[in-house]
Amino acid sequence: RPTRFGRLWTRLFAWVAGLGLTPRILLALQVKDRSADRLHEAILVVANYHGQRYLVSMLGNGSEWVQNVRAAGGKVCIKRGRSHPVVLKEIPATERAPILKAWTQVATSGRQHLPVSPQASVADFEAIADDYPVFRIDE
């Protein structure tokens, strides 16, 4: 769980990303909290793979945003300047490895959370794919 400072930092950074003032690989994800009737925001790195955009949970299945997205049936909003609704489609673990590898190429600060080097083979990413959810952004 994040500290009070961590939550404040995330909220502030998500606001800045939502304004579109961060690099294009970052966006603010807005999803309804599964336990309270309020909007939860997270700042995430977008990975491009084969013409599609993906979000990866660097903290695994226990991440709050992942649990909220699953509870919302994938219906969320993404924000970069404007907020617009999208659907996040969870990718089966058997298809995640190449996307995880692509994500580590752009998520330089997030890659430290995965137990695999960004230079590792796709087969090495297959070994951890069950533990790191991946969602495709469907407009």
pLDDT band at 94 (very low <50, low <70, confident <90, very high): very high
pLDDT band at 93 (very low <50, low <70, confident <90, very high): very high
Give the C-alpha separation, 67 to 138, whole Å. Answer: 18
Task: Dump pLDDT digits (tens) for 51-82.
Answer: 999 999 999 998 999 999 999 999 999 987 78
pLDDT mean over 108-136: 93
pLDDT mean over 112-131: 94
